[in-house]
Structure 1
Amino acid sequence: MKIFLSADIEGTAGIAHWDETERGKADYCEFRELMTAEVLAACEGARAAGATEVLIKDAHDSGRNIIVDRLPAYARIMRGWSGHPDTMMFGIGPDFAAAIYTGYHAKAGSEANPLAHTTTTRVSRVLLNGEVASEFTFNALCAARYGVPSAFLSGDTEICADARALVPNIVTVATLEGFGRAALSISPAQAREAIFEGVKKAIDGLVDRTVPVVPGPYEVTVEFVNATDAYRASWYPGARASGPRAVSFASDDFFEIQRALRFLLA
């Protein structure tokens, strides 16, 4: 049984500042360690539930954050960015039994995490069919394109709630809650224990997992912070201006939405 794991960092237990997420900053090494430890806990939970292989997509920033020498023999890791529209889900396919997510965070426009954003801090909100969407929204629907259910997510309290709204039977572990520029977090040790148990429970119960359904046609709207970014993005084929700082793109095919986002948010 193969499991796909998409790993981010801004929902890692204890995190509260951008300096803790960026290579080259003094605080980064500590939180790189904590991100890796949460990924390992998820791998171990999947293994305990019968997984024979876990493919990890290092899905934060450079794509080169997880300490690879810590990975178990049954894991593989996708590092860096290919340029494929599957982005944070690159490497997933129909042969995977489930997708799981660690270190995920609230969407752009939210106050639920000091590090809330959607792909880039250059956007104020991203909407799908008129609803404000998160990175998880697009990634879970990407997995659904391959018929893969999203079974588990760890991250801040809001992304956990959003995940359950999109995938009602998903298992979640809330690691932190934001208050302005502050974050109230559980301990990393508690997070690792809960992630292990949560992933094991999620994989044990895969027979009950379903893929999320958002019926087409689809329209994505990107609201930029800066009007010049909106002007640049408006030149993507099929895109149209949708307000002074917003660009919209519509398609019946969700992969075309992914492809558009790959360039609109570049």
Structure 2
Amino acid sequence: MRIFISADIEGTAAIADWSEALKDGPGYPEFREQMTAEVVAACEAARAAGADEVLVKDAHQTGRNLIVSRLPGYVRVLRGWSGHPFAMMFGLDRGFDAALFIGYHAKAGAESNPLAHTMNDRISRLVINGEVASEFTVNAYTAALEGVPPAFLSGDRGICEDAQRLVPGIGTVAVSEGFGRAALSMAPSRAVADIRAGVEHALSQDLSACRLALPERFELLIEFNNPTDAYRASWYPGAEHPAARTLRYVSDEYFEVLRAIRFLTA
């Protein structure tokens, strides 16, 4: 069994402020440790469930956050950003049996995580086919494009609920819940234990229950905070500029949507 893990930091246990998520922040070293611990727990659980290969994409900010010396010997890790439209899912292919999402966070505009955002802080909303999308939405559809079931997600309560709506069969562990600029979290050690148990349980189930069907057509709307960002990106081929802060892109091919996201949000 081959398992792909996409790892972020803003949905790790107890994180509550950008100073804990960004490399130059005083709280970053502690939450880099927690991100690593949660990813290692997922790797160990995947191994216990029968995985003979685990590929981890470090998918936060610089793509160089995990303390790689702590990864088990059977794990391969992708660090940095290639520029490929798969972005946080780069390295995924049809040979994987399941995709796991560790440390994921609520979408831009949500109240369930003080660090809620989608892609970057210049975007107020990203909408796919009329539904406000999270990074998980984008990445779950990427997994579907390769025929890989999204099997497990850990993060704040809001993103767990969103994931269950999109993929009813997915296993989740909600490690925290946001209240304004505060976060109510389980103890980090408990989060590690629950993620380990949750991943092993998810991978022992019928993974076909987690398969996600791709829509036949995609309408992408990106609403920026600043109208100048929308104007600058509006020159992307096929993009429409229907309002001062908004871009629209339509395609029947999800890879083209990913390509558009890659350049429109850069």
TM-score of the superposed pair, with normalisation by structure 2: 0.99
2:64 matches 1:68: no
One-letter code aligned to 1:80: G
Unaligned runs of 5+ in 1: none
1:87-236 equivalent positions in 2, closer than 5 A:
87-236=87-236
SS at match of 1:109: coil
Mapped to 2, the partners of 1:195 and 1:210 lie a distance apart of 18
What per-residue deviation string (whole Å, max 9, x for no partner) do you get for residues 11-40 of structure 1? 000100000011122111010000000000
One-letter code aligned to 2:80: G
Mapped to 2, the partners of 1:21 and 1:215 lie a distance apart of 34
SS at match of 2:63: coil
Following superposition, the deviation at residue 210 of structure 1 comes to 3.1
Q: Please, which moves more after superposition, 38-47 or 202-211?
A: 202-211
Percentage of pairs with the same residue: 60
Mapped to 1, the partners of 2:19 and 2:168 lie a distance apart of 34
One-letter code aligned to 2:196: F
* Contact in 1 for aligned 2:18/2:25 (Cα 8 Å): no
What per-residue deviation string (whole Å, max 9, x for no partner) do you get for residues 57-99 of structure 1? 0000000000000000110000000000000000000110000
Alignment: residue pair count: 266
SS at match of 1:136: helix
In structure 2, the CA distance between the partners of 1:211 and 1:242, relative to structure 1 (3 Å rule), is farther
CA RMSD of aligned residues (A): 0.8
Mapped to 2, the partners of 1:168 and 1:210 lie a distance apart of 7
2:14 matches 1:14: yes
* Residue matched to 2:25: 25
* Contact in 1 for aligned 2:113/2:177 (Cα 8 Å): yes
Mapped to 1, the partners of 2:263 and 2:215 lie a distance apart of 23
* Residue matched to 1:57: 57
* Residue matched to 1:255: 255
TM-score of the superposed pair, with normalisation by structure 1: 0.99
Mapped to 1, the partners of 2:89 and 2:196 lie a distance apart of 21
Mapped to 2, the partners of 1:107 and 1:86 lie a distance apart of 18
* Contact in 2 for aligned 1:9/1:104 (Cα 8 Å): yes
* Residue matched to 1:85: 85
One-letter code aligned to 1:91: G
Mapped to 1, the partners of 2:25 and 2:157 lie a distance apart of 26
Mapped to 2, the partners of 1:26 and 1:215 lie a distance apart of 43
SS at match of 2:210: coil
Mapped to 1, the partners of 2:94 and 2:208 lie a distance apart of 18
* Contact in 2 for aligned 1:151/1:206 (Cα 8 Å): no
* Contact in 1 for aligned 2:98/2:207 (Cα 8 Å): no
Mapped to 2, the partners of 1:233 and 1:77 lie a distance apart of 32
* Contact in 2 for aligned 1:5/1:101 (Cα 8 Å): yes
Following superposition, the deviation at residue 207 of structure 1 comes to 4.0
Mapped to 2, the partners of 1:209 and 1:55 lie a distance apart of 22
**Poorly superposed stretches of 4+, deviation over 6 Å:** none
Mapped to 2, the partners of 1:31 and 1:116 lie a distance apart of 16
Mapped to 2, the partners of 1:15 and 1:186 lie a distance apart of 11
In structure 2, the CA distance between the partners of 1:226 and 1:207, relative to structure 1 (3 Å rule), is closer
Mapped to 2, the partners of 1:206 and 1:183 lie a distance apart of 34
Mapped to 2, the partners of 1:240 and 1:225 lie a distance apart of 17
Following superposition, the deviation at residue 208 of structure 1 comes to 4.1
